[in-house]
Amino acid sequence: MAIGEQGRAVAAITGASSGFGAIYAKRLAAEGCDLLLVARREGKLAEVAEEIKRDYGVEVEIMAADLSVLADVERVENRIESIPTLTYMINNAGFGGNQKFPDVFLDVETKMILTHCLAPMRLCRAALVPMKAKGLKRKAGYIVNVASVAGFLAGEGAADYTGTKAYLIAFSKSLQCDVGRFGVRVQALCPGFARTGFHDAETMRFSNIKQTVPNFLWQRADRVVDVSLRSLRRRWRPNVVCIPTLVYKLAGYFGSSWLFAPLRLLFSWGTVR
């Protein structure tokens, strides 16, 4: 049976083949949502989908797509627009890099901007088609853009990473101003360091963050997702910006003050000089 066909809410999740994305998929399936899972590695997506179907009995559709390629983004957009019960849009796909300007790998930086900025913008717009059509009477939908606390900070070798994540934060805040009237809630999730596949990706091969960042700064990925979902559906005073854990909240809000110089330094120590 196709996703949403039985009238169930559908969650579309990008970057669902590992890390935060796979955890969002499991949490929302446990609540009874059907899923549309998107990432490049089809085999990994199929594994996540099989496990979820077996454990939660919901329908799961997978789409292999590279969100740094416009034609793939358009394919995902078309599918998302066609799901009348779409309730969650989780723009989570992303990756890091560790090269300093001007010696960056230009193709990697370009793909980062496309994956972190262009794709979420277009998928938000696509998701709003079915969400807006549901009307104002019931909660029409939830959008999560997975940014990073790095969007408030600065560090060596992270110009495009911090820049694209700052875009996602600012974009989400203004998007909420536009879509609140349709009953849509928007969140920019800003995690700090978390143990996922992120730090093992090919584009992070020059990073030594895993060795230099002390244990107390690592967050559990499942806790980050739980805080995100709880905060997203909070009845009173939900914030667009969601920063799990106190130390990163302080870094996010006061990141440019001298008090946070040690954290900013840690951020740049992750770069191989």
Tell me if residue 161 is catalytic. yes
Residue 19 CB, nearest approach to ligand NAP (Å): 2
Using an 8 Å Cβ cutoff, are 106 and 112 in contact? no
Q: Which of 88, 161, 167, 248 is catalytic?
A: 161
What is the distance between the alpha carbons of residues 145 and 172, in angstroms, rounded to a whole number? 7
Q: Which stretch binds ligand NAP (CB under 6 A): 13-21, 82-90, 120-128, 133-141?
A: 13-21
Among 8, 26, 27, 40, binds ligand NAP (CB under 6 A): 40
To ligand NAP, the closest distance from the beta carbon of 1 in angstroms equals: 25
Q: Which of residues 149-208 bind ligand NAP (CB under 6 A)?
A: 191, 193-194, 196-198, 201
Distances from the Cα of 31 to the Cα of 57, 73, 87, 158, angstroms: 11, 27, 12, 37
Pick the stretch among 60-68, 102-110, 129-137, 176-184 that binds ligand NAP (CB under 6 A): 60-68
Q: Do you find a cis peptide bond into 102, omega within 30 degrees of 0?
A: yes
Segment lying near ligand NAP (by CB under 6 A), choices 10-18, 25-33, 99-107, 238-246: 10-18
Q: Could you say which residues in the range 208-267 bind ligand NAP, by CB under 6 A? A: none
The interface with ligand NAP within residues 70-129 (CB under 6 A) comprises 92-95, 115
CB of 119 to ligand NAP, least distance (A): 7
Active site residues: 161
Contact set with ligand NAP (CB under 6 A): 14-21, 39-41, 44, 66-68, 92-95, 115, 146, 148, 191, 193-194, 196-198, 201
